[in-house]
Every structure is written in structure tokens, then in C-alpha cells.
A and B are shown apart, each in its own frame.
Chain A
Amino acid sequence: MRNNPATIASAVFTYGFVGLMAFLSVFPFIWMVLGATNSSIDIIKGRLMPGEALATNIANFFTLVNVPLVFWNSAKVTIFATVLTLAVSSLAGYGFEIFRSRRRENLYRAMLLTLMIPFAALMIPLFIMMGKMGLINTHIAVVLPTIGSAFIVFYFRQSTKAFPSELRDAAKVDGLKEWQIFLYIYVPVMRSTYAAAFIIVFMTAWNNYLWPLIVLQSNETKTITLVISSLASAYYPDYGVVMVGTFLATLPTLTVFFFMQRQFVQGMLGSVK
């Protein structure tokens, strides 16, 4: 049975395919790490070995970029976006699932339709709105449009389907008001759903590029993604420095994922068992 040729062939195929996929996703990362140790010229030449330019690259990165400020800007935007998105979207998803009515169902469908509108189409109207509110070049303008995330609302509504209605009943008999049921029962019970949503929202916010590019115009407000891209599109870009920047920029998301991957997988499978 174990040496059956068909079994072997299928194992070879499976591992080959998985291996290829893993390589495709890991290669850019390896290239980035190697690139950070090489000089710009070597990178352009396509050198794929560890080099000796790491210290120089780091030093150059820190002179070219106000690192603490840029990271602080990114962190601020990301933390606000994440906390607000989770709060607003989980409340909305919970509400849509628990308090159903025909009107709300229509509202929900309309909201899902917005998923189909590409951001490029919203950019200009949004920019004008932010302009009218005097928020251009502020971090509020970066965060505001992202917090009502249709996708996260959808994700929470789907997950809420597994939340037992008898828990709500028990809580009501125990004397909890609706907001208390949400806060003291729903949130802790659904914590792996929150963890999975947290990772998604955190990464999206941290990596967000297009919208910040439009609303953030001064060097004091720019986030790490913007700064790295401006380094890469300079007249004589130093790719070694860019690689150092990219590497540092991936560290937070990497850390978050590393510490939360168990909850992330659990959240994707459903919070309530």
C-alpha cells in the first residue's frame, strides 16, 4: 500500500506543488533580507549571496529617514485604524445578525455592494470630502475612511451565526443590558474572531499605501510605506537602503502574525465550538 506507485506519484505532485508555492511566497522575502546586506550595485547585478554592506545600509537608512517619526506615524495610524475598525465593524456585524429586519437586511446588502466599488473610484470624492473637513495632511483623514470596513462587518456577521442565542438569553435572565451582553459575553466568547480580524486589519492598515499617499503630503505626517516608496523612486535609488527599510517595515506585521497565528487559524475556523 505504502509503495503503491500512484500514492508515490500523488505525494511527489503534492509536495512539489506545495514546495513551489512556498518558494514563490518566501523568495521575495529572502531576496529582501539578502539585499539588505548588499550594496545597490550588487543588488542590480542580481547577487543572491549575503554581502558586507549591511552596516552601511542601516547607517544610510537612518541618516536619510527620520526613523522614529516615520514609525511613530505608521504606528499611530495603524493602532487607531485597527481599534476603531474592530469596534465599529464587529458591532455592526453583530447587530446585523442578531437584530434582523427586512430594512436592515437591505442595508446590509447595500453595504456588501460597496465591496465591488474599486477604491480608485472613491479616491477623488473622498479627497474632496476630507478637504472640505479640513483634514488633508492629517492622520484622521487616513483612518476615517477605513473604519467602516464592509469586509470585516461581513466577517463578523458570518462568525456571529455560530454565537449561541441561548447565551444571550441566559445573559438577559442574569440581568445584562444589550450593551453589556455585547461587551461582557460576545467580545470574550468571540476573541479568536477578533484575533483573526485584528491581523487582517492591522496588516491592511500598516501596509496601506494609496490613500495615505494622497492625503499625507508633508514629511512630518508620512508613514513608513510612503517613505520607502519615495526612497525607491528617487533619481538614484539606493536599493540596499530600500531593502533595509522594507525589512524593518515588515517586522511589526511579522511579529503580530507570529504571536497570534494560533488564534488567527482558530478565528478562521470559527470562534464557537
Chain B
Amino acid sequence: MTELQLSDVRKSYGGFEVIKGVDLDIKSGEFVVFVGPSGCGKSTLLRMIAGLEEITSGDLTIDDVLMNDVDPSKRGIAMVFQSYALYPHMTVRENMGFALRFAGVPKAEIEKRVGEAANILELGPLLDRKPKQLSGGQRQRVAIGRAIVRHPKIFLFDEPLSNLDAELRVHMRIEIARLHKQLAATIIYVTHDQVEAMTLADKIVVMRGGVVEQVGSPLDLYDDPANQFVAGFIGSPKMNFLKGVIEAGDGGECYARLPEYGGVKIPVGLKGAAPGTPVTIGIRPEHFKEEGSVSLDLTIDMLEHLGGETFAYARHGNGELVVIETKNGRGLKSGDRITARFDPACALVFDEGGKRLR
């Protein structure tokens, strides 16, 4: 069941277009995460859904009702802000009940709902404090509580955890995942954090420059990116990109040759790619193995030991950096010469414009 739909939604600030025609369907109960580089329009799009930013053109519907000009409070949404935006002069209880009071909900009902939300978020003992007297994590929980009491159809989060320290961030991430299950709510969530996106999302929306590059489940985007941008954006450390060119073998099979890497040949099962086409080969750090029919001779530049695994930043003779993830890298040291191998089936091929070739 489609709950929220964007069709060809655009936004301009004085002639400068920042959202350039977004189409998106969000189903009821889905956890959707917007990711993308800074300035790509994630917050703007979220604020347009919330009604805090006018939609220049295109349609926004929620439950099949056109919402473009509906007041934010009447869209069935609730928003959690990056800075929490708690009203500093009100207690936690008043903060949470404020919207309901304004909507004319009876006192007893407000009490009940605030109590429920406080239970879910373990805010009971804090209800009579002012935001000033709370820690960052507690403020965040109050901000979420303020959203919950309104019983919204859709929750909007704009980088809600970015002001918290690493440990609290992990804790709140789990908390939000739990809430999503418990409330069976639709959530749209903006983040910079790869891990948040991968772990929370049912569906990730990757944006760049006001355009949606790809929509899909986290693992789909990871395994099967539509273009070089998505391939590079999802995954950490980044996918390695190696320059090459398409050539035809004697038997008519198609392979990519990497002239800058000693002319290594990578068999690629491409249909209809003309010989001579310049391409980029994408290979993830963890796809380098002991075994594999393709090999690169590299010199280790730097090592990051994470305990379980090791990231080796190695250079080819041509000066290009290649990142390799390995389980048994404890014995390695800078300056070591290694032969890195991978299975050509793991390699992705992109054309010059970054489009995926299959």
C-alpha cells in the first residue's frame, strides 16, 4: 500500500533549482533513508514533505490526498530535528503535550499519550525537567517522544543522531530500530552515516545534486549499484575504481584490459560493448582474496588494523591507490610487496559517464 508519493517534485530558490524532479513511492510501514553528499538536497526534500518548505512544482500525496498546500500540522507527519528543537521554557511533559494541547485534545487524553510515550522511551523520571537539565541523549529521546504522542502516520528524522557521541549514537540507533518495529510506523530518515543507513533502512534513497540516483534495499545497492556514484557512495572503505578499456579476445569473448596496471585482462560478460570503449572497473576491498584469476602487484603504503580485519592501502607502480580488506593482515607491514587477487565475477563495469554496464 502506497502511503506517500512524490511525483516530479521540484524546488527552486530564486531560479536556482536544488531538487530536480524527484519521483518516489513510500509504502506504509517502510523505513526509508535518504543519503547523499552534503548539499544534495536531502534536508530540503524532507522539509518539503513536512510542509516547512514550499514545493515549487510536482505533487506530494499522502494516502492519495494531495498535500502540496496543506498545513504541516495537518499532514499526519511528525518531525525530529537535528538540534532537537525542544521548547526551552517548557518541561518535558509540556514539550510532549504541546501539539496536542494546540489541537484541542482533551487533557486526560494528553496525559495518557504522554504517559505512553514516556514509557516507551523511559522518560518517566524526567517529565518535570526542563530541556536544559537533560543530557544530549535524553533530549533526543524527548524529541522523539514529542513526535510519538501525536500518533503520526509518518515520522520524519533529519540527522537525529549527529549531535551525539559515538556510543550513544549506536544505542539510539538500536532504539529507533526498536521503535520502528513497535509502532509499525512509516519513517523517513536523513543521515550522513553509512552504518545508520545500512542497518536501519528497508529502502535507501541515494541522492546527488537534487536528483535521486538509485532507490533500493541496502544490500541491493551494495551488491548491484546502478552507477559508479552509488557504488562509490555505499560501502566503507570505498569501492576501488580502476581505469580500463574493452577489448575482444581471439575467441570473440569480451574482456577489459587495464593498460595502467600492466595490461591485466579481466573477463567481463558484457553484451554489446564495442571494443575500444573506455570503462571503469569497480572492485570492493573485501573482494580481494588469496585466490582469483586476476592479480595486481602492489606495495603497501599504510595499514589500518581493526582487530578482526585489516585495511591495506596499497599502491600500484603507476601510483594509484588500491584498498584491500583482509582477515589475515596482522603480519603485513608498510613497504611489503603483495599480489592481490580477485575473482572477475565480483568486478563491476561502468562506462565513462559512470553508468553501469551489464
| Chain A residues near B (Cβ < 8 Å) | 164, 166-167, 169-176, 180, 185, 188-189, 191, 272
CB distance from B185 to the nearest CB of A (A): 16
Pick the interface stretch among B81-89, B107-115, B196-204, B312-320. Answer: B81-89
CB <8 Å contact, B79 and A185: no
The answer to whether the Cβ of B16 comes within 8 Å of any Cβ in the partner chain is no
Chain B interface (Cβ within 8 Å of chain A)? 47, 50-52, 71-74, 77-79, 81-83, 85-89, 98-99, 102-103, 146
Taking the nearest CB of chain B, how far is it from the CB of A105, in angstroms?
A: 15
A252 to B57, CA, bound (A): 59
Q: Given A167-B85, A185-B87, A188-B89, A176–B79 Cβ distance below 8 Å?
A: no
In the complex formed, the residue of A with least CB distance to B83 is A166
Query: What's the Cα separation between A164 and B81 when bound, in Å?
Result: 11
Complex-state Cα separation, A166 to B72, whole angstroms: 14
Which residues from chain B contact A189 at a C-beta distance below 8 Å?
Answer: 87-89
Please tell me if the beta carbons of A173 and B88 are within 8 angstroms of each other in the complex.
no
Taking a contact as CB atoms under 8 Å apart, the answer to whether A173 and B79 are in contact is yes
List 25 interface pairs A-B (beta carbons < 8 Å), by A numbering.
Answer: A166-B81, A166-B85, A167-B85, A169-B47, A169-B50, A169-B52, A169-B79, A170-B85, A170-B86, A170-B146, A171-B87, A172-B51, A172-B52, A172-B72, A173-B52, A173-B72, A173-B73, A173-B99, A174-B73, A175-B73, A175-B102, A175-B103, A176-B102, A188-B89, A191-B89
Contacts of B87 in A (CB 8 A): 167, 170-171, 185, 189
CA distance A225 to B74 in the complex (A): 55
Residues of A within 8 A of B79 (CB): 169-170, 173
Query: Which secondary structure characterizes the binding site on chain A?
Result: helix
Query: Which chain A residues border B102 with CB–CB below 8 Å?
Result: 174-176, 180
Count of A-B contacts judged by CB separation below 8 Å: 55
Residues in A with CB closer than 8 Å to B71 are: 175
Select B50's contact among A164, A173, A185, A272, beta carbons within 8 Å. A173
| Chain A residues with CB below 8 A from B50, complex form | 169, 173
Instruction: Give complex CA distance A175, B85 in Å.
Output: 15
Instruction: Report B-chain residues with C-beta under 8 Å of the C-beta of A176.
Output: 73, 102
Contacts of A175 in B (CB 8 A): 71-74, 99, 102-103
Q: Are A166 and B103 in contact (CB under 8 A)?
A: no
Contact A172 B73 (CB under 8 A): yes
Please, which residues of chain B bring their CB within 8 A of the CB of A272?
88
Nearest CB in chain A: distance from B93 CB, A: 15
Asked whether A174 lies within 8 Å of B98 as measured between CB atoms, the reply is yes
Nearest first, the 6 closest Cβ-Cβ pairs linking A and B are A175-B73, A174-B99, A166-B85, A170-B85, A188-B89, A166-B81
* Contact between A169 and B89, CB atoms less than 8 A apart: no
Apart from the given pairs A175-B73, A176-B73, 17 other A-B contacts in the complex at a CB distance below 8 Å: A166-B82, A167-B85, A167-B87, A169-B85, A170-B85, A170-B146, A172-B72, A173-B77, A174-B73, A174-B99, A174-B102, A175-B72, A176-B102, A188-B89, A189-B88, A189-B89, A191-B89
Query: In the docked arrangement, what's the CA distance between A171 and B51, Å?
Result: 12
Do A169 and B73 touch across chains, with their CB atoms under 8 A apart? Answer: no
A169/B81 in contact, CB under 8 A: yes
CA distance A169 to B82 in the complex (A): 12
> How far is A142 from B103 in the complex, measured between Cα atoms in Å?
43
Which residues of A sit under 8 angstroms from B74, Cβ to Cβ?
Answer: 175
| Chain B residues whose CB sits within 8 angstroms of the CB of A170 once the complex forms | 79, 81, 85-87, 146
Shortest Cβ gap from B96 to chain A (Å):
11
Measured CB to CB, the nearest residue on chain B to A188 is B89
A137 to B83, alpha carbons, bound, how many Å? 53
The closest CB in chain B to the CB of A191 belongs to B89
CB distance from A85 to the nearest CB of B (A): 23
**Please, how many angstroms separate the alpha-carbon atoms of A175 and B87 in the complex?**
14
